[in-house]
Chain A
Amino acid sequence: MDDLPPSSEAAASAQGQSTHAASSHGHSAHDDHGHEHHELGFWRSYVFSTDHKVIGIQYLWGGLAFLFFGFGLMLLMRWQLAFPGQALTWINASNHIGYQWHQIWYHLGFYGTPPIDPVPVPADPLHPPLMQYIFGKDQMPGGVMTPDFYNTLGAMHGTIMVFFGIVPVAFAAFGNYVMPLQIGTVDMAFPRLNMGSVILFFLSAVLMFGSLFVPGGAAKSGWTSYTPLATISDQPQDTIFWGHDFHFMWPFWLTGQSVWIIAMAFNITSSLLSSVNFITTIVQLRVKGLGWMRMPFFVWTQFVTAFLLLLAFPPLEAAAFMQLMDRLAGSSLFSPAGLVIGGTPLPLSGGGTPLLWQHLFWFLGHPEVYVLVLPGLGIISEVVANNARKPLWGYNQMVYGLLVLGFLSMIVWAHHMYLTGMGTAVSSFFQLTTIIISVPTILILSSLIISLWGGSIRFTSPMLWATAFLPLFGIGGLTGIPLAFNAPDTFLHDSYYIIAHFHYVIAPGTIFALFAGVHYWYPKATGRIMSEFWNKVHFWPTMILMNCVFFPMFLQGMAGMHRRMYDGGATYDELNRNVLHWNVFISEAAWLMGLAQIPFIINFCFSWKYGRKVSDNPWEATTLEWSAPSPPPHGNFPTPVIAYRGPYEYSVPGHPTDFTPQSEPPASTQTTRISGPPPAEERSIGFPPLT
């Protein structure tokens, strides 16, 4: 459209005075946003809120709840892996605890005799154990997990952790809460769309959680839902319970896997709307003076993450529609002709291919890995710069590395599929891109480590998590390199090595970053600080046990233990004998790690009300969110802020304090700088000159 409307010229001149629209266009668009002067009721303030801060906290609570729930599913699975086929009852559990105590005391020399292996006690059929009451007779008869239920737990653990735990916390919660504050704006660009995202996410969460209770149980085809398994699993079930037919309450054809697909479609839509909102906010609503290269690194990571979500999620949505069609309309987009299941040929037309699903899934799946990791890296960058009291080393190269990373992450997906027979040429291409993508990743991680060099580090609560993050994430990254090559991957594929590798990236990686972020921005959100003592009680056991859980898995995997064994590999005892005993150790470490989260839950909940009150800027940080009151009011900044300098001006020589907030006007035209982003320019927006 060449002929611009006359109003855009007026806007251009209005921009000259202030970026804050309050002055430039009056009350014209008021029907769009909540009005700050009148009180909103409970529902509008806390449930159907359009305020980015409330939405961020909603995501945080929801995401954390799902993280713990997903963790709980895994703790159940670990029982079956450690003690295959034993009933999960109080008596068996306490026998094992007693056995371990005896073992410890024996090795310390207090007991003369070694313990006797506990004899599994089957549950009394007349008094079914608690587990049977909770999960039903089909899932855990007599407290023994059925294979189907084991598969359900695995599928739901993956799905919930990735799509309902980490993405909502790392991207939606921190992004919603912190990002608009860091770019100094009043709210997201589309507040009502933001509320729509929360509602969609809530619906998807209810559906996914509810799918555990539909006839036949939840999805059991893995979080990847590979076809044709996912197409034929969860056949329509009868809906007869307690002698009554409940078909009127639930459509018989809507079984676990179909509910999974529908829930994912809601979840994907929610993420898409969020990512549109995030990108628009970052591009359009940065305050005056906040050029691209003055954005905090966290905002950059959210920006790239939003692009990944925006472009990688739709193919999965399309694939989800296709799988739903395969399941409900009987099409065969993912099924080849002549498929025989259990000796019975399937009455399908054929003509599809399971490879199509894998391509579409991993086209999302791999960028999704970076969706999980990048916000974590952003949080760690903020925490490291703040607590090392130094600017980030190589901010520019980190930003450019991040952009390259974002691009490359879209073209590496098929390294998950080396064993599908795609052909060596295709495999070689993806092997090459996968190796290349390690370069920007290592670049960012190295920059973070070098940022610590020579700093006077404050080991605050968030910094503890950040310092643990750096090496553990490094282990996760480096152990991925053998997997990037065709040849070693042929051996390591689908083994416990893979599990260990990606959990090192995500569990001690991203989840530690999330803990760091929770501690770091808690004072901003509540005006109170979380207890440092209880953080240490939480941190040290978690850090040690995390390694106890995942490190032995490398050994198991390299010994060839397959990742999908219902009995933890006991069937292949001959092959796995040397590493099988680690199953018990890993499970016990995992259960103890579950206990170790209790201090965090207590700390998080109690500090909300009873934590120590702190100032608006307790960490003496520089970025813009710390210029707002804690907690920030509706509209965030009482007076509009302007960014006068780069994001990490710590320890600037000549400055009275060791930090210079971005919103602090320059004392004189001459400012001494040590490193970091280029100095303040006359023009307010745009790239710095390349010098």
Chain B
Amino acid sequence: MEIPYTLTARPDTGLYNGKLGIWLFLASEVMLFGAIFTAYLFVRLGAEDGTWPDHIQNVWLGLSNTIILIISSITMVWAWVALKERKFNTYRLALGITILCGLVFLGIKGVEYHSKFNHYGFLIKADAMDKYLPDLKKMDAFIGSIPSQHVFEVRSEDLKSQEGDSFTFVPDKNPHYLINLARDKSAVAPEAAAGGEEATFTIKKDDVERWHNLTPAYGTYYAIYFLVTGLHAMHIVGGVVVMFYFLTIGSRLYKRNPEQLSNRIEVTGIFWHFVDLVWITVFPILYLT
């Protein structure tokens, strides 16, 4: 028994089965990510003043990831072309670079996640804000405001202590990127550098309405952020696993049937380009706004 058109294209459609299958699968993926982007719009348009943070992601990390993924897309095509030209070693090199790019992407993503897990947000009751305001102003700290919930928001990357009835931390400065790559003590806080350590800020726990690290529970922005990027990262992992298979065990097929291997790489590539494309949508809506 032989299933038709696994290897060659059906004339009236111009596609072999796998290629049509992956395009259909991508149609469903468009709907999957489309639903999440729609949810993003829905939640963002309905967000109350001050609850939707802007410009908090590190654009340079996001941009590097964008560039890395675009490079990996190019090398993916390179791998496919190499197979078509029956240049096996080039294929292995190109696919290896693609996998490497995927792994670097995940590494950078991990750095970003790590920073959010260790970054805290404090919602301070508006009534109690008066006594803290001068200190915060003096430190040039970032202060957000959510009028509808009667709270002010302060964030910190450096929680010194939460013992007793108060928190002690170094508040984020303006501008308030969550990851400040240029965070050099002398550059950021000259007076603190002179004194040897940064100015800390202490607040009573009773005056804090709610505090949390910057994970989905802290706000819908973070929920959407982790949802989109997490799902996207899972797609990257899936792609890397498949490519790793075709780099190792799967590449044995080359000896038996190079055309079939090149078809499989083409299909993998179509998927990989889609994952790239999703990132290119994620980047502006989460990093550039």
Binding site for B on A (CB under 8 A): 5, 7-8, 10-12, 14-15, 19-22, 24-25, 28-36, 185-187, 189-191, 193, 272, 275-277, 279-280, 283-285, 310-315, 317-319, 321-322, 325-326, 329-333, 337, 347-353, 355-356, 359-360, 363, 634-635, 685-686
Contacts and interface: CB of A to CB of B under 8 A. Distances in A.
B71 interface: no
**Residue among B51, B52, B217 with most chain A CB within 10 A:** B217
27 contacts: A7-B7, A11-B9, A12-B9, A20-B4, A21-B2, A21-B5, A33-B2, A186-B3, A190-B17, A284-B4, A284-B10, A284-B15, A284-B17, A285-B4, A311-B28, A312-B31, A314-B29, A314-B34, A315-B35, A337-B48, A348-B217, A350-B220, A351-B219, A352-B220, A353-B42, A356-B39, A634-B1
B117 interface: no
A2 B79 CA distance: 17
A337 B219 contact: no
B32 A315 contact: yes
B28 A322 contact: no
A272 B26 CA distance: 11
Interface stretch (B94-102, B134-142, B178-186, B223-231): B223-231
Contacts of A29: 2-3, 6-7, 257, 260
A22 B259 contact: no
B232 to A, nearest CB: 12
Contacts of B210: 347, 349
A360 B35 contact: yes
B241 to A, nearest CB: 15
Interface string B43-56: 10011100110000
Contact of B223 (A187, A275, A332): A332
Contacts of B260: 28-29
A14 B2 CA distance: 15
B10 A330 contact: no
Contacts of B223: 322, 325-326, 329, 331-333, 352
Contacts of B38: 315, 360
A470 to B, nearest CB: 33
Contacts of B217: 329-332, 348-349
Given A318-B36, A318-B39, A349-B218, A7 B8 contact: yes
B154 to A, nearest CB: 16
B8 A314 contact: no
A313 B24 CA distance: 13
B12 A685 contact: yes
B11 A363 contact: no
Interface string B206-219: 00001010011111
Interface in B46-97: 46-48, 51-52, 84
A314 B17 CA distance: 22
Given A333-B223, A349-B220, A351-B43, A33 B10 contact: no
A7 B260 CA distance: 11
B216 to A, nearest CB: 4
B132 interface: no
A30 B256 CA distance: 11
A313 B48 contact: no
B161 interface: no
B7 A187 contact: no
Contacts of A332: 217, 220, 223
Given A11-B9, A29-B260, A284-B15, A325 B227 contact: yes
Nearest to A683: B12
Nearest to B46: A353
B220 A284 contact: no
Interface of B: 1-13, 15-18, 20-21, 24-25, 27-29, 31-36, 38-39, 42-43, 46-48, 51-52, 84, 148-149, 210, 212, 215-224, 226-227, 231, 256-257, 259-260, 262
Given A351-B48, A356-B43, A19 B21 contact: no
A315 B34 CA distance: 8
A280 B227 contact: no
A284 B11 contact: no
Contacts of B31: 310-315
A5 B84 contact: yes
Nearest to A349: B219
A10 B12 contact: no
Contacts of B224: 333
A356 B42 contact: yes
Given A5-B259, A25-B8, A325-B227, A337 B149 contact: yes
Contacts, number: 204
B3 to A, nearest CB: 6
Contacts of A634: 1
B220 A351 contact: yes
Given A35-B1, A349-B220, 16 more contacts: A11-B11, A24-B8, A25-B7, A28-B256, A28-B257, A29-B6, A276-B21, A276-B24, A284-B17, A285-B5, A314-B29, A318-B35, A318-B36, A333-B43, A351-B51, A353-B43
B13 A322 contact: no
A642 to B, nearest CB: 14
Contact of B39 (A322, A348, A350): A322
Contact of B216 (A19, A28, A186, A330): A330
B230 to A, nearest CB: 9
Contacts of A5: 84, 259, 262
B11 to A, nearest CB: 5
A393 B8 CA distance: 38
B203 to A, nearest CB: 19
Contact of A21 (B6, B29, B148, B221): B6
Nearest to B266: A1
Contacts of A310: 24, 27-28, 31
Contacts of B11: 11-12, 15
A347 B6 CA distance: 55
**Residue among A25, A34, A318 with most chain B CB within 10 A:** A318
A30 B25 CA distance: 24
Contacts of A35: 1
Q: Which 6 A-B pairs have the closest CB atoms?
A: A11-B8, A330-B217, A331-B216, A331-B223, A315-B35, A314-B32
Contacts of B43: 333, 351-353, 356
A15 B12 CA distance: 10
B253 to A, nearest CB: 8
A628 B48 CA distance: 65
Nearest to B223: A331
A284 B1 contact: no
B35 A7 contact: no
Contacts of B226: 325, 329
A20 B10 contact: no
Contacts of B42: 353, 355-356, 359
B216 A329 contact: yes
Contacts of A349: 51, 210, 212, 217-220
A191 B4 CA distance: 12
A187 B4 CA distance: 9
Contacts of B221: 351
A330 B213 CA distance: 12
A7 B217 CA distance: 55
A286 to B, nearest CB: 9
Nearest to B123: A349
Contacts of B8: 7-8, 10-11, 14, 24-25
B82 to A, nearest CB: 13
Given A313-B28, A331-B217, A280 B9 contact: no
Contacts of A685: 12
Contact of B4 (A185, A314, A337, A353): A185
A317 B35 CA distance: 9
A284 B13 contact: yes
A7 B259 contact: yes
Contacts of B52: 351
A283 B216 contact: no
